[in-house]
Chains A and B, each alone.
Chain A
Amino acid sequence: MTDNTKKPKKVINKSKTKVPMREQAPMDRIMNFEEVPLGYTEDEAHQEALRCIDCKTKPCVAGCPVGIDIPAFLKLVGEKNFEGALRKIKEKNFLPAICGRVCPQEDQCEMVCTLNKPDKGREPGGIGRVERFLGDYAMEHNLTITPEIAPATGKTVAIIGSGPAGLTAASDLAQKGHKVTVFEALHKPGGVLFYGIPQFRMPKEILIREIDGMKDMGVEFVMNYPVGKAEPLDSIRQRFDAVFIGTGAGLPWFLGIPGENLNGVYSANEFLTRVNLMGGYKFPDGADTPVKKIKRIAVIGAGNTAMDSARTAKRLQPEVVYLVYRRSRLEMPARIEEIHHAEQEGIDFNLLHSPIEIIDDGKGAVGAIRCQEMELGEPDDSGRRRPIPIEGKIRDFAVDTVVISIGQGPNPLLSADCPELARDERRGTIVINDYAQTSFENVFAGGDIVTGGATVILAMGQGRVAADAMHRYLMTGDPAPADNESGDVCPNLT
């Protein structure tokens, strides 16, 4: 034992910037599907944790959709008590290795960090990086930190959809002593975490490990079971005491321009599913689902999914990957880090270009994508400057593949078979009250099926709020907290 641990005095790393994270070099990584950021070493994580000044206001905790006690876990890392830090995170978030990778920390905990003073050149604490380190540390050291499970309540819960919202709700409810069964339509659990997020952003092994941990907690997973088709919601809600719907935003949008059904036009969902879920990049020796050999490809859109698609395409070794977006850089919805990675990897950004037609190569496949060049006008309803066409400025990109990544709507599979479930007529999303309760008393919902399309961590936050409400409902019959206890309401995300 050193003096430091005996008499804890504040040791602060006064560096203005985060401890840098090592990455695979761009020219190396575009040749493989391995992860890009390599993660912190123990020393790096320790140094970064010491940057936290343990301020009184702790804005980061409020900035975290699942309310992790961030200063507390950073302090433990500062003491090199990695296992303790993991336990602290797992009180609120059972998926640190995933969240450390896919959360937009720059818009959440790190944005509100007291250290964050860009005008003074001071960066926020690298909360996401340390969180990720801990998740990886657990895996490398084979640490299974199973949270304490409350005595069995005898209540049963069905979770429909095994994406981020469903997994969070399942884990929370299992911890509270309920018997949880997760139903998934696909053959692998994880939803968007499996089919959407590419291997180079989050290795599938991490997800599989987290899910194995849930199985150890007694959560049962039923694959290949599309509720609504395999069994009506009505039957599920009679069989279980409470039900959570987290079926996500799985219905891809198309542009509605001529030529969209030509061969070689994919939704981002199809493209990413072929590569991520089905392993198309290993075709034909390592996997049976093909993805076409691409020479020149255009990805339409500028969200995180568009960046994932463009970077995935790049790893299939084409001559060129264009990214085509009708607005300017400022309006791009993707995380800065993702845009930065895409640029490093040589994605050819074409901003202020709006696709107007996909042109046939004469054989029923894509030959080119025709775009209208745009300029920025006055702000529109969303507050972003509206793109307006520049007359006569048309540009063709010669490509053989087009990936449409302009967003998606709520998955219709379940609601189509249950018209009585109250939905937002226009958006098709499931309507819930402050306690995540749908129009059926014992059915709750959260994630993209409610918001229409947001991020992994927001879906997880909603899964958590719903789980709390469901627990109260199961124990008292009322999902609202009693007057003398606190309870989160669903964050308004729309």
Chain B
Amino acid sequence: MGNKIIYTKELAPKTKLFEIEADHIAKRGRAGQFIILRVCDEGERIPLTIANRNPDKGTITLVFQEVGKTTEMLGQLAVGDEILDLAGPLGKATEIPTGKTVVCVGGGIGNAVVWPQVQALKEAGNKVIAILGARTKELLILEEEIMSLADMTITTTDDGSYGRKGMVTHALEDLIEEGEKVDEVITIGPVVMMKFVCKATEPHGIPTQASLNPIMVDGTGMCGACRVTVGGKTRFACVEGPEFDGHAVDFDELITRLAYYQPEERASADNYHRCRMEEAADNLGNHG
């Protein structure tokens, strides 16, 4: 099971796209599902949503942001390298309606997940409107890819450097107020963004699926690290999700749980940077 990287592209600073050989995941995976990967011995298991699949070629596409040691190490890999461990597809697929008007609201790296969703929704005969947000123009990813599939695409940046200035929630609210008949909303992005997207749709009674990204260890239902409260009940995002009824999700709990290991994540990344700098210094020494 080689899991060889066959294509890489930098989509934005610290944001990369990899196409990887993973035949069975390419064939069986569905929009909304994720994989778990590990890049080195004693490395972490991290979940990444499948951004695209090419069943004929037997490849999947992953998009990730370098935010910690594991994603930075992943980012160091190049075409021809292999991913040490790659398991999937995990989680439940996005429930795809037919003949509806669906708005996909993505933010930041979340747009990578909007991409396969828009594709699946279009294939099922839905009208799809994509709202894509980013902090600033250079961080906006996959706009062209999504725009070529969706019936309409609205882009927003927080600083107004591109598209509409402001938050995705404002664009969504305007869309609803302008009288667009929205049957369903699917949202994926920073937790705070998803929380406000759900708040925006709730008064209108628009069913809203939120794709959650809690901390996971095994990703197969075994550890419960990923538990989230939905409608007052504890659910395991890895096997019962990752998508849940956004109006029932306890987003504040999710934010707190996501922050628990931040000091360790920072320490790990700092440690890694120090090691790499020492290595670089050693190399300079050797060659100097």
B-binding residues in A (CB < 8 A): 185-187, 195, 222-226, 229-231, 250-252, 254, 260-261, 263-264, 266-267, 269-270, 273-274, 277-279, 282-290, 292, 364-365, 411-413, 416
Q: A187-B45, A229-B90 are in contact. Are A270 and B260 (CB under 8 A)?
A: no
Q: Are B253 and A288 in contact (CB under 8 A)?
A: no
Nearest residue (CB) in B for A252 is B224
Q: A261-B229, A261-B234 are in contact. Are A251 and B217 (CB under 8 A)?
A: no
How far apart sit A365 and B259, CA to CA, in the bound complex (Å)? 11
Stretch in contact with the other chain, from B119-127, B170-178, B202-210, B264-272: B264-272
Stretch in contact with the other chain, from B12-20, B81-89, B140-148: B81-89
Nearest-Cβ distance from residue B26 to partner chain A, whole angstroms:
11
Majority SS at the chain B contact face: mixed
Q: Find A279's partner among B42, B256, B260 (CB 8 Å cutoff).
A: B42
| A-side contacts of B257, CB under 8 Å | 261, 263, 364
Top 5 closest A-B pairs, CB basis? A290-B264, A270-B223, A364-B256, A224-B87, A250-B222
Known A-B contacts: A185-B220, A261-B257, A416-B239. Give 5 more (CB < 8 A). Answer: A187-B45, A264-B260, A266-B225, A269-B222, A283-B264
Q: How many residues of B contact A (CB 8 A)?
A: 43
Q: Are B44 and A230 in contact (CB under 8 A)?
A: no
A-B contact list, 8 entries, CB within 8 Å: A225-B24, A230-B87, A273-B217, A284-B267, A288-B43, A290-B264, A292-B260, A413-B220
Total inter-chain residue pairs, C-beta < 8 Å: 126
| B-side contacts of A282, CB under 8 Å | 42
Q: Are B70 and A288 in contact (CB under 8 A)?
A: yes
Q: Are B221 and A267 in contact (CB under 8 A)?
A: no
Interface membership of B227, Cβ < 8 A: yes
| A-side contacts of B66, CB under 8 Å | none
Q: Find A229's partner among B43, B85, B89 (CB 8 Å cutoff).
A: B89
How far apart sit A167 and B253, CA to CA, in the bound complex (Å)? 40
Interface string of B154-193 (1 = CB under 8 A from A): 0000000000000000000000000000000000000000
| A-side contacts of B44, CB under 8 Å | 278, 288-289
Interface string of B196-234 (1 = CB under 8 A from A): 000000000000000000000110111111011100001
Q: Find B221's partner among A195, A288, A365, A411 (CB 8 Å cutoff).
A: A411
Q: Are A288 and B224 in contact (CB under 8 A)?
A: no
Nearest-Cβ distance from residue B257 to partner chain A, whole angstroms:
6
| B-side contacts of A263, CB under 8 Å | 256-257, 259-260
Interface membership of B287, Cβ < 8 A: no
Nearest-Cβ distance from residue A487 to partner chain B, whole angstroms:
34
Interface membership of B1, Cβ < 8 A: yes
Q: Are A284 and B268 in contact (CB under 8 A)?
A: yes
Q: Are A186 and B89 in contact (CB under 8 A)?
A: no
How far apart sit A284 and B218, CA to CA, in the bound complex (Å)? 19
Q: Are B253 and A270 in contact (CB under 8 A)?
A: no
How far apart sit A277 and B44, CA to CA, in the bound complex (Å)? 10
Nearest-Cβ distance from residue A152 to partner chain B, whole angstroms:
25
| B-side contacts of A279, CB under 8 Å | 42
A-binding residues in B (CB < 8 A): 1, 24-25, 28, 38, 40, 42-45, 69-70, 84-90, 217-218, 220-225, 227-229, 234, 239, 253, 256-257, 259-261, 264-265, 267-268, 271
Nearest-Cβ distance from residue A162 to partner chain B, whole angstroms:
13
| B-side contacts of A411, CB under 8 Å | 220-222
| B-side contacts of A254, CB under 8 Å | 224, 234
How far apart sit A393 and B186, CA to CA, in the bound complex (Å)? 49
How far apart sit A54 and B261, CA to CA, in the bound complex (Å)? 58
Nearest residue (CB) in B for A232 is B28
Q: Are B222 and A251 in contact (CB under 8 A)?
A: yes
How far apart sit A263 and B42, CA to CA, in the bound complex (Å)? 24
How far apart sit A116 and B223, CA to CA, in the bound complex (Å)? 40
Q: Find B260's partner among A251, A274, A365, A412 (CB 8 Å cutoff).
A: A365
Q: A230-B25, A261-B257, A283-B268 are in contact. Are A267 and B224 (CB under 8 A)?
A: yes
Q: Find B87's partner among A185, A251, A266 (CB 8 Å cutoff).
A: A185
Q: Are B221 and A251 in contact (CB under 8 A)?
A: yes
Q: A260-B234, A290-B265 are in contact. Are A267 and B223 (CB under 8 A)?
A: yes
Q: Find B239's partner among A195, A266, A284, A413 (CB 8 Å cutoff).
A: A413
Q: Are A270 and B85 in contact (CB under 8 A)?
A: no
Nearest residue (CB) in B for A290 is B264
| A-side contacts of B85, CB under 8 Å | 187, 223-224
Q: A225-B87, A261-B227, A288-B42 are in contact. Are A278 and B221 (CB under 8 A)?
A: no
How far apart sit A401 and B225, CA to CA, in the bound complex (Å)? 14
| B-side contacts of A277, CB under 8 Å | 218
Q: Are B261 and A274 in contact (CB under 8 A)?
A: no
Nearest residue (CB) in B for A254 is B234
Q: Are B87 and A226 in contact (CB under 8 A)?
A: yes
Q: A284-B271, A292-B261 are in contact. Are A226 and B220 (CB under 8 A)?
A: yes
